[in-house]
Structure 1
Amino acid sequence: MAPSESRPSAPASATVGPDSAQASATVGPDSAQASAKAGRDSAQASRAATVTANPAFAVGPVRRETFGAFVEHLGRCVYTGIYEPGHPTSDEAGWRGDVLELTRELGVSTVRYPGGNFVSGYRWEDGVGPKAERPVRLDLAWHSTETNQVGLDDFVDWSRKAGVEPMMAVNLGTRGVQEAIDVLEYSNLPGGTALSDLRRKNGAEEPHNITFWCLGNEMDGPWQIGHKTAQEYGRIAAETARAMRMIAGDTLRLVACGSSNGRMPTFGEWERTVLSEAYDDVDYISAHHYFENAGVLEDHLAAGAVMDQFIRDIVAHIDHVKSVRKSSKDVHISFDEWNVWHINSPRTPIPSGTDWPEAPALLEDLYTVADAVVVGDLLITLLRHTDRVHSASLAQLVNVIAPIMTAPGGAAWKQTTFHPFALTSAHARGEVLQLAVESPSFASPLHGEVPALSAVATHDRETGAVTLFAVNRSTTEPLRLDADLSAFAGLRVVEALTFANEDPLWHATEQDSTSVLPSPLEGVAYDGGWLTAELSPVSWTMIRLA
């Protein structure tokens, strides 16, 4: 017997339609049962997926660090992105006020800085002190000219205004242990030493107290300045971590470089070797993965399933080293680069030859509705692994493969990917629940049979609120969602939003960023502990119950 056919009746329930998505709608028993029956009947031709949630089965807490982002000195992310002196919205320090406002609305928690590939050739001291005296350098990573008008002290100032925690990366490509402990001394000591007093002289009287540090970036990649073998990198990461802890001890959270992506030929063996050297000295190992629509939408929509397996593989490598070392310590994952990135797009190519421009337009992808659904699915996947993924950073924040875009001297606007990120950050609270899911599949030519439904639920024990996030990955068929929430007492639907469009390849532009927005999901019914909703093809949905 199908779950929907065995539901008990309820004395009252709630439905959500286009006019009632922002508030609860409690109705009488006849109306509630009729609404639920209508929802079931109208979805009769749909394929169905069933989820069961119970507050007794929690994966772990919702971690604010899951909603991190990334600001690299790359393209227009910094210059004309977060920083543009003279812009109509900019403050006295040159920070764009419209971008600060959107960053706060996006719900970002941590921001990784200053790279990325950029950090492997970066001299942190170039970016402090009087701006007129800062040197201009070549940025070899992105074949650009770096003016250093934004640096460490500036970024900390921006972070405080944005309400985010800085996550700093140190250069282990062309530099090493000494530079790492120098920048830590400069940043965190109150005073009384050469470098901490230099910070105070430069205008930052109080220490920055940065606790989150990345030990280099993608050092397994041959494209990386100062690329190293796993053995070489593992040694310098361990040595750097030990030296930094001599200054700040266990107040630091340190991230060792994992593989640049799961397709690297050294993936797995890199993690094993690095952690064999640095396991006792670090708290996280990084994960990086980007996803591209290479022309087959079904393959693109399977990205969440690909990320899920990638995380499981990294966990296996971590736990192998833990077992071999007979350690009681856990090392967690910092998924500090993830996003949709149309890597082969002809838009805004990397400069070359004798052209070394300042802040060129690079990697400025325009994101479709389907891309936003994938981003929502990737966040669902990160939340489902909250027991092992303790931090994540959407790469990047502004202009460069980003949810926020700006026009120099002009407006800032939201890409499609802004919406699922902002709504998930705003409403995922409490604990992540382990769902029992039964879902039909759809066929991806590249990845095979993939579950059509991707879902996660969060539960706030203090308020009793339950929030369900769901993606229908199918490109052609709607999906009826039946959710058994009978283990929770007294719930009612207070909001149901979906993000979808008849044309999943629609994308926002500066001229039109509002034609397709999250909208109320019609026909949602809650009856006797069972939630029913119909999910459109290629859609992301959030349903909140209180």
Structure 2
Amino acid sequence: MSRVLSKAKMVIDKDFVISKIDKRIYGSFIEHLGRAVYGGIYEPGHPSADEQGFRQDVIDLVKELQVSIVRYPGGNMVSAYNWEDGIGPKEERPHRLELAWRVIETNQVGTNEFIDWAKKANAEVMMAVNLGTRGIDAARNLVEYTNHAGGTAWSELRKQHGYEKPHNIKTWCLGNEMDGPWQIGQKTAVEYGRLAAETAKAMRLVDPTIELVSCGSSGSGMPTFPEWEAITLDHTYEYSDYISLHKYYGNRNNDTANFLASPMEMESFIQTVISTCDYIKAKKRSKKTINLSFDEWNVWFHSNEQDKKIEPWSIAPPQLEDVYTFEDALLVGSMLNTMIRHSDRIKIAAMAQLVNVIAPIMTENGGGAWKQTIFYPFYYTSVYGRGVALKPLIHSPKYDSTDFTDVPYLDSSVVYNEEKDEVVIFATNRHMENTLQVDIDARSFEGYEVKEHVVLQNDDPKATNTLGKEEVKPHNKGESYMESGKVVGILPKLSWNMIRLTNNKYK
């Protein structure tokens, strides 16, 4: 560990409340893509498989992450998906050409099976409907199949399939990335806005209790951003509850300092979407506030060249299987910090994806499962980042990178859990050479002391984890202590940290 010290200051206070954090911010995503489903969550014949063919070793890791909600079944795949293919007797389900990823979809896992899996993993389901090749009719029928109690054709068919009680799925996505030229059934903003609004109206007539996510632009780099948000929300504002954001980062130029500054662009992206939502609110004189669903986010670039070599029309080939590095974990930690700092508007988020496909969990067909480097910041933030987000006032030395100026070396978010009488500080030190000493003024938390300081660090930014060899894993020997009423946090160079403070009256 470098002992050259840089110094930063931070103030945290009980009254600096941003928002109560919605647990759904710690969500994820399973698409019928690569080995996410087949060979990931589902592998009949695997030594750990249960009676439905679901891998118990994977379920255990998902439960460890405390994933709150899982988006399904896509993704790009949903835009040409017929949900009826995935219900009823498995032996009667068709094999289809899956156009988004050019593979064969066997439909051995469908709506009911996935809902069963989610229950086993202690997660809710965020269901997406096809607004590419289909629309109002298929969407309202799916809501009837999953959520209506009985006495109608679709609800009675669900009962025939062995599900007497409705599934009561509450969160629904109105399509996926509909502005993307790669999307089956790409739409203009007006086309999508009209279709999404009418689909939302029909779905809500079937079940008025559901919440709906309107498609935002596929990313901040799209030529239509943020005009897409403004035009589509003009149609969907009164019918949807959230608008989606998608963002991936990659260190393609092997520029670590610039890569770790990427969340500054993410911050700008979020603020622009919020501003656009609030402009439409003002334009419509609405009392309703649209919140954000950041339902695809992660690091994604390692597998791009490898995926070009995949033979088309195979079944569940290894696609998008990024092997994550230590620096990727640092970036993921900062992306989580950014979302916590915006938890007043970001109410749902989904790390894309959960197993094998750009994922924190990897598996071997017929073999073991292991934790990628990015597993750890997600795990600690999900488990300990429950409560109220507090706004940290940060004074940090800064640096300039290739694309960013005035990048703080210290990136942090703070969560106060009143029920546990606990304050949790998540902090990344972006400095590639120096240890960062952070003096934290926490006077409103009198009587608290350092309970634990978890550190994720490695001298090699490119270190990875593989089956049976975990090069990147956390330890709880961090150097933090109380001094004259303040917390002094010692953050090693290039490290992600979690400092937990608890009230010593409970000792």
TM-score (ref. length: structure 2):
0.97
Q: CA deviation at 1:361?
A: 0.3
Question: What pairs with 1:476-515 in structure 2 (closer than 5 Å)?
Answer: 476-513=433-470, 515=471
Does the CA contact (< 8 Å) of 2:443 and 2:485 recur in 1? yes
CA distance in 2, matches of 1:168, 1:107: 19
| Aligned pair partner of 1:300 in 239, 249, 259 | 259
Matched, 1:385 2:342: yes
Greater mean alpha carbon deviation, residues 534-543 or residues 220-229: 534-543
CA distance in 1, matches of 2:257, 2:64: 31
CA distance in 1, matches of 2:490, 2:453: 11
Deviation by residue 1:468-524 (Cα, 9 ceiling, x = unmatched): 0000112222211111111112101111001010111101112312x3311124431
Q: CA deviation at 1:528?
A: 2.9
Q: CA deviation at 1:152?
A: 0.2
**1:27 alignment counterpart:** none
Q: CA deviation at 1:43?
A: 9.6
| Aligned pair partner of 1:543 in 489, 499, 503 | 499
**1:425 alignment counterpart:** 382
Query: Partner amino acid for 1:91?
Result: D
Question: What pairs with 1:529-540 in structure 2 (closer than 5 Å)?
Answer: 529-540=485-496
**2:65 alignment counterpart:** 106
CA distance in 2, matches of 1:266, 1:203: 45
CA distance in 1, matches of 2:395, 2:309: 45
Matched, 1:338 2:297: yes
CA distance in 1, matches of 2:13, 2:406: 28
Does the CA contact (< 8 Å) of 2:30 and 2:353 recur in 1? yes
SS at match of 2:257: helix
CA distance in 2, matches of 1:128, 1:527: 61
Question: What pairs with 1:208-219 in structure 2 (closer than 5 Å)?
Answer: 208-219=167-178
> Structure 1 residues 202 and 350 mapped into 2: Cα distance closer, same or farther (>3 Å)?
farther
CA distance in 1, matches of 2:309, 2:116: 30
Question: What pairs with 1:12-23 in structure 2 (closer than 5 Å)?
Answer: none
Does the CA contact (< 8 Å) of 2:69 and 2:124 recur in 1? yes
SS at match of 1:487: helix
Matched, 1:266 2:230: no
Matched, 1:289 2:247: yes
Matched, 1:53 2:44: no
Matched, 1:256 2:214: yes
Query: Partner amino acid for 2:215?
Result: C
Greater mean alpha carbon deviation, residues 338-347 or residues 142-151: 338-347
Matched, 1:456 2:456: no
Greater mean alpha carbon deviation, residues 336-345 or residues 167-176: 336-345
Structure 2: unaligned runs, 5 residues or longer: 503-507
Q: CA deviation at 1:533?
A: 1.8
Does the CA contact (< 8 Å) of 1:199 and 1:205 recur in 2? yes
Query: Partner amino acid for 1:267?
Result: F
Q: CA deviation at 1:374?
A: 0.5
CA distance in 2, matches of 1:523, 1:447: 30
Query: Partner amino acid for 2:11?
Result: T
Deviation by residue 1:253-273 (Cα, 9 ceiling, x = unmatched): 100000111000000100000
**1:174 alignment counterpart:** 133
SS at match of 1:520: coil
CA distance in 1, matches of 2:316, 2:408: 42
Does the CA contact (< 8 Å) of 2:94 and 2:106 recur in 1? yes
CA distance in 2, matches of 1:204, 1:338: 33
CA distance in 2, matches of 1:118, 1:266: 22
**1:523 alignment counterpart:** 479
Greater mean alpha carbon deviation, residues 520-529 or residues 251-260: 520-529
Does the CA contact (< 8 Å) of 1:144 and 1:351 recur in 2? no
Query: Partner amino acid for 1:411?
Result: G
CA distance in 2, matches of 1:136, 1:199: 21
Higher relative contact order, structure no. (Cα contacts within 8 Å, ≥ 6 residues apart): 1
**1:229 alignment counterpart:** 188
**2:35 alignment counterpart:** 76
Does the CA contact (< 8 Å) of 1:142 and 1:350 recur in 2? no
CA distance in 2, matches of 1:215, 1:123: 15
Does the CA contact (< 8 Å) of 2:27 and 2:67 recur in 1? yes
Query: Partner amino acid for 1:287?
Result: L
CA distance in 1, matches of 2:501, 2:478: 15
Does the CA contact (< 8 Å) of 1:43 and 1:480 recur in 2? no
CA distance in 1, matches of 2:45, 2:478: 45
Does the CA contact (< 8 Å) of 2:80 and 2:133 recur in 1? yes
TM-score (ref. length: structure 1):
0.90
**1:65 alignment counterpart:** 24
Structure 1: unaligned runs, 5 residues or longer: 1-41
CA distance in 2, matches of 1:443, 1:519: 30
Does the CA contact (< 8 Å) of 1:347 and 1:365 recur in 2? no
Identity of matched residues, %:
48
Matched, 1:326 2:290: no
CA distance in 2, matches of 1:405, 1:344: 14
Does the CA contact (< 8 Å) of 2:216 and 2:244 recur in 1? yes
> Structure 1 residues 187 and 350 mapped into 2: Cα distance closer, same or farther (>3 Å)?
farther
